[in-house]
Structure 1
Amino acid sequence: MAVFTEVSEDEARGLAQRLSLGEVLELRGIQGGIENTNYFLTTQQDGRRAEWVLTLFERLTAEQLPFYLHLMKHLAHRGIPVPDPVADQGGDILHTVCGKPAAVVDKLAGRSELAPIAAHCAAVGEMLARMHLAGRDFNRAQPNLRGLAWWNETVPVVLPFLQDAQASLLRSELAFQNHVAASSACAALPRGPVHADLFRDNVMFEDGALTGFFDFYFAGVDTWLFDVAVCLNDWCIDPPTGRHDEARARAFLQAYQRVRPLAAAERRLLPAMLRAGALRFWISRLWDFHLPREAALLQPHDPAHFERVLRERVHEPVAA
């Protein structure tokens, strides 16, 4: 995504050699995103070309990263179409490039569908449910690092940048989400590994078929309902207004529930969780917008988008 660390061709060749990927043909920085340094890496071995994604982690630590990488490998081995991290000869899937922790994964086929119709939303819903069930026996645990604790830490940092009406909304919604999180109903929600960032640009399609989920570096153990809410807030809204799109949401939820029906408690808490998903991304976009880091190709997202989504979710609750 954004390029914070410049990787030389010599560094890329050395990495490709260590991972037995063959000759490096091209190394190209990827524009978009704001968390990590990403490159497309093209190699050739025995006359065959292959494409990979090289990620250098700018915020996540070597202690945190095994959760994400092993989760992807776990899901890939259970038939979920996700990038599979490449191991070196010693079996390690976490590497070091330019002094930063790094990973190389296979590049998924296809492209992102940025103007989805109901059929795309249904495909995402079905695969998300399959992913949740496939992760039930994953043997590592790590909390959602952009969950409630992070919201409570970050809101005081971004409040000085806001107008009074925005600050009032942010404070009141954070108080509401702390109340929900402390409830017995929330504690009883089904949990497991979640993607937590499954936006339109993190899913690939080819010839109308879903070919994969990627960018798992916000994943963590959280309620599956939070993952559902994050998807509904991106795949099933009108972006200019933030308004709910009933047809796409119905397609998503019906497809999800054909694989994993929502529990009664999940249905009751969906309106609150939709607000939580909007709050999470409003906070992070405010943080990235007002407190940016220097990076080549960096393009912070507009925080006003998720302010609109949150206001819609507060004033027009959606039932499951």
Structure 2
Amino acid sequence: MSVYTPLSQPQVETFVAAFPFGELLNYRGIEAGVENTNFFVTTSQGEFVLTIFEQHRHPEVHELVLLAHHLGKAGLQVPAPLEDNQGEWLHTLEGKPAILCRRLPGEHIETPTEAHCYAIGAALAELHQAAQTLAQQRPDDHGLDWAEATLQDLGGDLSSVEKTLLQDEIQWQRDHQNQWQALPSGWIHGDLFHDNALFVAGNAEVGAILDLYHACSSTLLIDVAIVANDWCCDKHGNWLGDKQQALLDGYNSVRPLTPAERDCWNQALRAAALRWWVGRLLIRRKQQRLGAGLSKDPGEYQTKLEKHRQPV
């Protein structure tokens, strides 16, 4: 059970009454949450999701949800916080930050098809374009400096093979930073794995893009590469059919990649694999110290990085 902050019906009724969405009909806790408390809320005018943030204060949540609010205003299908009758979208329940979003259509897919890859490519490009008008920026905390600091921090937790590969890849990426930093940049999703998207049942229409909490300002191309590394290849980094091309075709249909971006595609795949390999190494250490089972295998992204490093 992942309802860390239970709410009574009168509390939810009072909360919903501040919005122009009719009367509360019912609500129930969502057990799938990991960090936050979530409720499905049904009113006389629709279905919503109420989120209570358990680990962040109001200023942090305002920053985390800023992009979603902006994209929602632009008409994109994202979990955007809704404004109440006073125009406020960040609220307080039990002393914790809370937001209300519409329940978005669609379902998760286990195995993306080429049609799914094309659709998510186009949707990601739409997100990148819509985010360009958001003046505020959020620094990318998972760049090369972070990777290098993590390498030093992990120390003895790494095998000699892991350590050597990390050192070599970080240096290679640094040696190519001039061309990388010249590429188009802006807000990226940063975590668009296939379980962070919903598709309308029976077709490849994107119902929603979820989990924008990792969004930041970075090179746009790495966002496309993050998708490619998860949606378009197997765990060994082997491309599956024409999924990679379908993803790129979908993206290009909305925001054509520049010649410089096309030239840097392999570098982007390597940078994205490095980013998630390092992240999973940190998770592995935390879980080992807690005596917990390994939820995400770092070796998958080590293998994908090694695959991308091979001469074409």
Range into which the TM-score falls when normalised by the shorter chain: 0.7 to 0.9
1:154 aligns with 2:150: yes
* Distance in 2, Cα, partners of 1:43 & 1:166: 46
CA offset at residue 29 of structure 1? 2.3
Q: Which amino acid aligns with 1:190?
A: P
Alpha carbons 1:144, 1:218 under 8 Å: kept: no
Identity among equivalent positions (%) equals 28
SS at match of 1:211: strand
Instruction: Tell me, yes or no, if the aligned pair for 2:284 and 2:294 is still in contact at 8 Å.
Output: no
Given the alignment of the two structures, is residue 254 of structure 1 paired with residue 249 of structure 2, yes or no?
Answer: yes
Tell me how far apart the structure 2 counterparts of residues 281 and 54 of structure 1 sit (CA, whole Å).
27
C-alpha distance in 2 between matches for 1:99 and 1:303: 37
Are 1:83 and 1:105, in contact at CA under 8 Å, matched by a contact in 2?
yes
| Larger relative contact order, structure 1 or 2 (CA cutoff 8 Å, min sep 6) | 1
Q: Is there any run of 5+ residues in structure 1 with no aligned partner, and where?
A: none
Match of 2:296 in 1: 301
Which residue of structure 1 aligns with residue 15 of structure 2? 18
Corresponding residue SS for 1:204: strand
Aligned residues: 304
CA distance in 2 between partners of 1:38 and 1:269 (Å): 40
Q: Pairwise mapping of residues 32-43 of structure 1 onto structure 2 (< 5 A)?
A: 36-39=35-38, 41-43=39-41
- Asked if residue 267 in structure 1 is aligned to residue 262 in structure 2, the reply is yes
Which of 47, 60, 77 is the matching residue for 1:50? 47
Distance 1:253 1:166, change over 3 A: same
Counterpart for residue 196 of structure 2 = 202
Return the letter of the residue paired with 2:15: R
Q: 1:15 to 1:95 in 2, by over 3 A?
A: farther
1:114 maps to 110
Q: Report if the CA contact (8 A) 1:109-1:204 is conserved.
A: yes
Gaps of 5+ in 2: none
Q: 1:16 to 1:141 in 2, by over 3 A?
A: farther
CA contact (8 A) 2:108 2:199 kept: yes
Give me the whole-angstrom Cα distance separating, in 2, the residues matched to 1:30 and 1:148: 33
What's the TM-score once normalised by structure 2's chain length? Answer: 0.87
Aligned equivalents of 1:172 and 1:85: distance in 2? 43
Pairs within 5 Å for 1:177-192: 177-181=173-177, 183=178, 185-192=179-186
After the TM superposition, which residues 48-197 of structure 1 pair with which residues of structure 2 at under 5 Å, given as runs?
Answer: 50-56=47-53, 58=55, 62-181=58-177, 183=178, 185-197=179-191
Letter in 1 for 2:130: A
Secondary structure in 1 matching 2:176:
helix
Cα-Cα RMSD: 2.8
Match in the other structure for 1:312: 307
- Whole-angstrom CA distance in 1 between matches of 2:77 and 2:130: 11
What is the aligned partner in structure 2 of residue 242 from structure 1? 237
Q: Could you tell me how far apart the structure 1 residues matched to 2:138 and 2:288 are?
A: 26
Residue identity opposite 2:263 in structure 1: R
State the TM-score, normalized to the length of structure 1.
0.85
